[in-house]
Structure 1
Amino acid sequence: MMNIFQGLRMRKRSVLSGLCFLSLLYAGVQFYIQDDYSPLQLLSSVENEASRLLRFISQPHVHCNDSLATGNSSKWLICVDAEIGIPFLQSDDQKLIVYSVGPKKDYSFEQIASVNLSTKLFVFCHDECPKDLMHVNPSKATFYKTVIVPNDPADFARNSFDSQTLNTVIKTLHHNIIHILKLDTFVEDVESSEVLRFLIDDSFIQSVQELHFVVKLDKLDEDFIYSWYRVLYALFTTAGFRLFHTSASDSLCLQDTIMESCTYYLSWIKKPPPHVFVMYPPAIDGSRENEEDRLLNYLHNTKSKDILFTRVLLKSVSFNRNPRAFDALSLDLSTTILKKSAQSCHIIILRSTAFSISDKRPIEGCNAVSFVYSVKTDGSVLINAVSELSRVSRKNQDTNLLEIVKLSEKTIMFIDLHESWEVLGLLSAMALPKHLDQVIVRGNIFPTNGRSIHSVLRNRYSELQRLQEFSLSLVKTDQMSSTDLKFSGTESNLYILNFVKNYVL
């Protein structure tokens, strides 16, 4: 009898031990999942969800330098910027195609689009189109009575006698591209977020150049608000659209807390060229902690598999020290790029102090060239070539730098940033990274003091993402330890980021 009870006690202990182990394992997995940065994580309350959504839609990602207001209230803006917007003038055989879905009450958008732009306007009304709308430039407008619904594969009746998807519409009208798509209102049982979600999922959105739609938040429901955030996040990350204008039905709707019955009018442009700066949306709630987590997540997720590097040591002479000091600069250069290098290969060193490379040909086939930059009080940047005789040439040499890069068959650039991130912005604005095969950036990533650190972190993350838009991928991240620096007692915030052109991957 005792043996039976002992056996039962041992089984209970085993079961309890197993449950404890599983609990610890689950807790560990949960901690790991929560510790990693996840932009689509569910937040703890409807207020937090609302705050995250508001931050996303109230802060434009890109600046449109030339826009066309569609009314006194400017609820909608049409971007006609030559670099990122819709072309303003078209010949008769190249008319812009504009779709307007469910316009209601205010028809100024349709009026401006058809009169001020050379467009062919297609209007889709759920009921009979109002007479006021029918009078909008009828020679350039075509009106349809049909209910636009999401392209949901599970809805077999989505294309019926009284409803259509935009996928069917564009095929029927034989349009390959929609220059401007405006989604205003839908019938009661159709959620506009669902329409937009399926336009992204089935890649229909890739045929659109400029997108305008309404976000109507008539209820503070957690799932409803999160569904909108998820769709807008996909519109930015998957579809590549950038917000350039936001207005609201009430100015109070753009405050820190979303109110019930707020309507937002959002205007987006398809991904602009990489030299145009795009400010990425805030990391979750835009707090310093989340901005740091996003940056750290980016720095640690490198694509360094199977990439070989050759370490090259460059000896430089600094002109700003007395007596002149010799510094050694160690660079990890892509072996693949070096093997493909021709006679016009250049290693360009860009630093904030005047210096000269003692070995002008540190590796066979590549010449080393030195440039120095300075940041003025107004934020402008000057780049000058280093001269052996005059230390720094008097003439601004950023044009000369671009010419060297364009003429070189293979170009590797080392940029010593420290805190001067304006330099990286200038080089990207010049579209210089387009001509670079490898970029090595050394600088302080995380500021330790100052105001609006969360905004600084967001800006730096956006600048690093802009580099990747030039087909440069981050393949190696090194954080310099205090022993690598010539001072002690301070935790190093200095990183070395190594980018290579995608053909190396």
Structure 2
Amino acid sequence: MMIRPMKPCRRGIKRNIALLVVFVIGIYCYVTIHYYGSKWRPLRPLATAEKEAQRLLKFITTYHYLCNSTVALSNRTDYLICTENNTGIDFEQSGIAYSVWTPYDIAFESALALNYSFQVNVITNFADADIVFREMNNTHILKTFLVANDNHDFTRNLYGQNTFNDILKKGGLKHIDILKMDRPSREVQLWEILHFMNEDRLLMSVKQLHIVMTIDKLDDDYLFNWYRSLYNLFYHQGFRLYHTSASSPLCLQVTVMESCVYWLSWIQNPGEQMFVMHPPADAGALELEEARVLDHINTLQEECHAFLEAPNLVSTVLPHSTSVTGVCSLEQHRRQVLIFSKNRELPVRQVFREADCDVYQFIPVFQYGNLIFKQESGHRKLNELTMDDLKLFVKRLRTVDVIDIHYTTMEWEILSNFLNNGILKSAHQLIFQANMIDRVYGRHPASLRKMYSELRRLEVQGFLLFHSIPCHMSEFLYYQANKGKVMEEQSLSYCYKLSFMKRNFKKKTKTGFQRHQIA
């Protein structure tokens, strides 16, 4: 009797294949919803090339830093050198510059070498570069093909090719004043070189960076790679964009970005007291800017285990609040508190007095564009202090335990002036009522971006958020400029009472750094 071989079960195989297809489709749908469905997420790929182009164009046309003193070295490329005091290039002294050069224009290099006594190191694969630069004594030519430092690309070490890592290692330089980067060749993408320079943190020693961005195709991956490289320049390397020029005015429209060239000038972080406008949230839509701000103020950075309370104070003074003051417990010795508010009968003032604090209250007033402060003296007489007077007053106190800014419609201007003038340097804690609706423009993307930038500047100056609650409805009033009247908002989500503590302030707080979402 012949035994026939068993045939595989076709139904079982088909069923397994069908389950596998369903599983793959489910994973694809989850990833698609995760990336494209969220309101705002840093560095998320967008669905189309047009949206990527819109986001990239918004990024390069929104300056991060305002440089008030610039010098143009070339009429062809329109690069501008920032020469501002303390932050820019000092042409009175010799410096070091590197230039990834292509044979189109030598005005930039010749101006640095001949007019400003810079040592210019030219990186190029142009065969006749020696002839072009032979009359410039302060130039050094390195003939090589510049490639990205991709560890997975083993051809990067071939003869005649170098990465920027190799060039800097051979030069032995720890500081570069100016780095100018053109596209080295058609075979190499400049965004790729920048990406791996970001990964290797090579740009931390560069004071100013000037790059050319060539958009030769409207491809979503290509545009995203450029956006990611520029995004990392800002957030990981500390560079701030201060000037952009394009090969044509039409290049500032999304639909004609193809075949356009952009020259971008960046400066290394100018300092914590300088205002830096953060890049837009994606393409800068209102709901995305709003989501980014709310995400930031709803994410605590530090934890306080014991808040300042006033046991002798009746509970009706500040109702509907998780903490009476939002102040972390202070030391037992003399406590200095500065309050900036137009309300002389502010309830929090009584709270601080109940806690045996020395309270100084100031009424901020803008006069002819300048911020002055009125302080009560004897017999209700008001003394006027300028910003310089306030700085001297704070300096005499040496340390300030709490600064409370409670001034609806003007709180952001006051905070910005304090950050610009270093008023908060000696403060341990900052209490700040943040209204998210601008008194002039209302809910506007640019005003929300500026608010977010100020909150991030607080973080740079060492202030960590440890308490955040919506404002009480009775305190939530805004000025509506277009109607000329005071209006009351129906939602509490646009006003928050925020409490920050200095990073080195650890009295009765948890030592470790913690981030957690507010329920």
Could you say which TM-score interval applies, normalised by the shorter chain? 0.7 to 0.9
Distance 2:102 2:26 in 1: 55
Deviation at 1:417, TM superposition (A): 3.5
Residue 244 of structure 2 aligns to a residue in which SS? strand
Q: Which position in structure 1 is the counterpart of 2:99?
A: 100
Percent of counterpart pairs with the same letter? Answer: 31
Matched, 1:502 2:492: no
Distance 2:245 2:443 in 1: 25
Q: Which position in structure 2 is the counterpart of 1:146?
A: 144
Q: Which position in structure 1 is the counterpart of 2:481?
A: none
Deviation at 1:160, TM superposition (A): 3.7
Deviation at 1:105, TM superposition (A): 1.3
Give the alignment's TM-score, normalised by structure 1: 0.83
Equivalent runs, 1:175-186 vs 2, <5 Å: 175-186=173-184
Distance 2:352 2:443 in 1: 42
Structure 1 gaps, min length 5: 1-11, 316-325
Aligned length: 466
Give the alignment's TM-score, normalised by structure 2: 0.81
Residue 326 of structure 2 aligns to a residue in which SS? strand
Deviation at 1:144, TM superposition (A): 1.4
Matched, 1:400 2:389: yes
Q: Which position in structure 2 is the counterpart of 1:363?
A: 355
Q: CA RMSD in A?
A: 3.3
Equivalent runs, 1:155-194 vs 2, <5 Å: 155-194=153-192
When residues 352 and 31 of structure 1 are mapped into structure 2, their CA distance, relative to the original with a 3 A threshold, is farther
1:67-111 Cα offsets, whole Å, 9 max, x none, are 111123561011111132122322xxxx31100012431112112
Deviation at 1:155, TM superposition (A): 2.4
Distance 1:108 1:311 in 2: 66
Matched, 1:273 2:279: no
Distance 1:379 1:286 in 2: 29
Conserved 8 A contact 2:102-2:126: no
Residue 272 of structure 1 aligns to a residue in which SS? coil
Matched, 1:346 2:340: no
**AA paired with 1:419?**
T
Distance 2:32 2:218 in 1: 32
Residue 491 of structure 1 aligns to a residue in which SS? coil
Q: Which position in structure 2 is the counterpart of 1:209?
A: 207
Q: Which position in structure 1 is the counterpart of 2:409?
A: 419
**AA paired with 1:499?**
F
Matched, 1:42 2:45: yes
Structure 2 gaps, min length 5: 1-14, 478-486, 507-512, 514-519
Distance 1:242 1:279 in 2: 9
Out of 364, 368, 371, the position equivalent to 1:381 is 371
Matched, 1:455 2:449: no
Q: Which position in structure 2 is the counterpart of 1:68?
A: 71
Q: Which position in structure 1 is the counterpart of 2:122?
A: 123
Q: Which position in structure 2 is the counterpart of 1:464?
A: 455
Residue 212 of structure 2 aligns to a residue in which SS? strand
When residues 307 and 280 of structure 1 are mapped into structure 2, their CA distance, relative to the original with a 3 A threshold, is farther
Deviation at 1:483, TM superposition (A): 6.7
Matched, 1:438 2:429: yes
Distance 1:171 1:419 in 2: 53
Distance 1:379 1:428 in 2: 17
Deviation at 1:36, TM superposition (A): 5.5
Q: Which position in structure 1 is the counterpart of 2:55?
A: 52
Conserved 8 A contact 1:405-1:411: no
- 4+ residue segments displaced more than 6 Å: 26-29, 326-329, 483-489
1:99-135 Cα offsets, whole Å, 9 max, x none, are 0012431112112222333421111111224467404
Deviation at 1:178, TM superposition (A): 1.0
1:115-163 Cα offsets, whole Å, 9 max, x none, are 3334211111112244674046x22111111111111112234234311
1:6-64 Cα offsets, whole Å, 9 max, x none, are xxxxxx9xxx9xx99x979x879947994463022222211111000000001111011
Conserved 8 A contact 1:121-1:140: yes
Q: Which position in structure 1 is the counterpart of 2:491?
A: 491
Distance 2:31 2:193 in 1: 39
1:334-377 Cα offsets, whole Å, 9 max, x none, are 23xx23x754x42110113456856885435x42111110134x
Deviation at 1:470, TM superposition (A): 0.6
Distance 1:28 1:72 in 2: 47
When residues 280 and 28 of structure 1 are mapped into structure 2, their CA distance, relative to the original with a 3 A threshold, is closer
Distance 1:495 1:456 in 2: 16
Distance 1:82 1:360 in 2: 42
**AA paired with 1:50?**
A
Matched, 1:252 2:250: yes
Residue 78 of structure 2 aligns to a residue in which SS? coil
Matched, 1:333 2:319: no
When residues 397 and 359 of structure 1 are mapped into structure 2, their CA distance, relative to the original with a 3 A threshold, is farther
When residues 243 and 105 of structure 1 are mapped into structure 2, their CA distance, relative to the original with a 3 A threshold, is same
Of stretches 202-211 and 302-311 in structure 1, the one that deviates more from structure 2 is 302-311
Residue 394 of structure 2 aligns to a residue in which SS? helix
Conserved 8 A contact 1:99-1:121: yes
Conserved 8 A contact 2:363-2:373: yes
Of stretches 100-109 and 167-176 in structure 1, the one that deviates more from structure 2 is 100-109
Deviation at 1:286, TM superposition (A): 0.8
Residue 141 of structure 2 aligns to a residue in which SS? strand
